[in-house]
Each structure stands twice: as C-alpha cells, then as structure tokens.
Structure 1
C-alpha cells in the first residue's frame, strides 16, 4: 500500500475526512508521482495542484548551465556529475521536441503537465510580467499522442532524471548541516 493509499484508508477507518487534494512537484524531468500519487488521486477523486512544471528553470528555455539559481539550488552544483549530465541531455532532447512541434520549451512543459488526466491545476510561478504572459500563452496548448510518446522516450514515465531534485527523496537538511543550524 502506498502512503497516499494508506492516508485515505486511515482517514476512512478513523472516521475522519479523507484527503481531497494533493500538491506534488511534477514536470517532464520529475515524473515519480505518476507511479502512485496520480493513480491514487484519480481513484479517490482528489484534486491535484502541481508545482514546478519548469523544473526550477531547467525547462524555461534558458541555458540551465549558466543559471546562478540552479547552482544555488543544487548546493555543490557540478556539471560533471552524471545526474546533471543526464538532465542537461534530457533538456536538450526535450527542446528538440518542442522546436519540431513549433512551440517554446515552456509551452511543451506546461502542456505536458496539464495533459495528465489526474492533474487539476498547475502552479506556474513566474517572476515577471513577461514570464507570466509567456506562460499564459501556453494555456490552450495540447500535445498529440506522438509528442507525448517522444517525451516518454526521453524521460520514462514514473522516473526522475535527478533524484536529488525531489526533496522527498532526501530532504536537503539531512545533507547540508547549515540548514539545521542557526
């Protein structure tokens, strides 16, 4: 039994209200929720409000290797690490898919997240009006099965390109002692 299923079971057995929504991280690079969270949400009719569809800027269309934010978010960000190399390669391949489909990578990323039938809504998190306008332009973008299949070939369903990106895998405070101290 998965934690999501267990939570629903415990609420029912305890006579409590069951969970009605879930707010997981979800993107083309971070797909672990497809394994249990999204099927559980569908099974129980839960709403799913996802966040990080641009994978902390990796799917923004900007070169992720030059972003200061990416270096800070990853701590000892090192481009030579295999997980980062895999991520860079996946982004390059996904960008090719977007270009061939005639859309920006951001539109591909948002449309991918919205295409899952369990996803109710997507938090987009723009920082500027220009970013907001660009992301809102993707609202009506729909992906064909062929495009979705190509995305699946690049990043397999239910997987994570870099497990360190998923805070549920290893909480940052367990790795970096500075986050546990004043």
Structure 2
C-alpha cells in the first residue's frame, strides 16, 4: 500500500495543536505572591520590548519543532526553563538576567521557575471548561489513528505514544496547586495579554 506522508503529517500536526493547548508546567516550592506574579508579568513584557529588534530571545516560547515526518514531543514541563537554556553563556543571557533581576528575581533561573508555575496555574484555569471537549477530541483522534488505512503500524505506534503523552498532559494541566491558581486569578487579564504577546 502506498504511503501518504501528507496525511501522517496532518495527523501529527493535529496532535501537536492539542498538546500546545495543554502545556503543563512544573511547580516549585515557595509562595506565589501577588508581587511575584506582577513582577513576572512586568518582566516578561520588558524582555519582549528589550529583544524585539534583535530577536535574541526565542520569538515563540512554545513553538513546536518542524514536522519532518518523525515528530518529537516538546518538553512541556519546563517551557520557560528550557527557553533560557539555549541562551546560557551568551550576552543575551546576561542581558535578560539583568532585566528580571530589576523586577525582583534572584536570577534568570528563579524567573523561569516562577514562569513555569504561573503557566501551569494559568493552564489549569483554562482547562476548567475545556477539559471535556479536549478529552473527546483526543478520543476521536485516537480512533482515527487506529482506523486509518494510510498509516503504517510503526506510524500508528508513534502516534499512540504521542497521544498517551497528551493524555498525561491533560492530567497535569489540571493538577496545579490550588494556592497557585488562587494567586494568579486576580491577574488573568494581564497575564493572558503578556503570554499572547510572548507567543507572537
């Protein structure tokens, strides 16, 4: 039977879109105070402004890898932490660290860990209404994978593994600490605006 890479790529892209809607991020110990949340939002906006022209920072912290027919899952547990790792040892890292320190963070790692927590709590709130539909979408996607005559057994196995990771992501997206969720609720509009701008 002839292969259909375009169908495979389309199915893989669909899975990534589901996953990008769910990105769970790890929490760290310590209070997520209102001051810290405001500081993160302000620092994220400052970073976007500072690096807007030279684009030394990644344009999109959540940009998926290119689809070459062998899709790999991004590590959604450390989006901000992973984003800064590529800058380590560069002038851009030092510049970014100076910006976040001016907003009350000990260093860039401290800032990224806070961002991970905030994003997890934000996604938990976003998932409050969307979880049932996302679950149905994933079940439908799994059925389409299983029933597709255009995917090889190997391709189906890859897609099932990715779907298993997606289902794990749903569970983690709903498991942010209640105190972190409560901490960011008063800042949702400002946080949403900053994160959307960061992804543009």
TM exceeds 0.5?
no
Instruction: Give the TM-score normalised by structure 2.
Output: 0.29
Higher strand share: 1
Instruction: Give the TM-score normalised by structure 1.
Output: 0.30
Higher relative contact order, chain-length normalized (CA < 8 Å, sep 6+)? 2
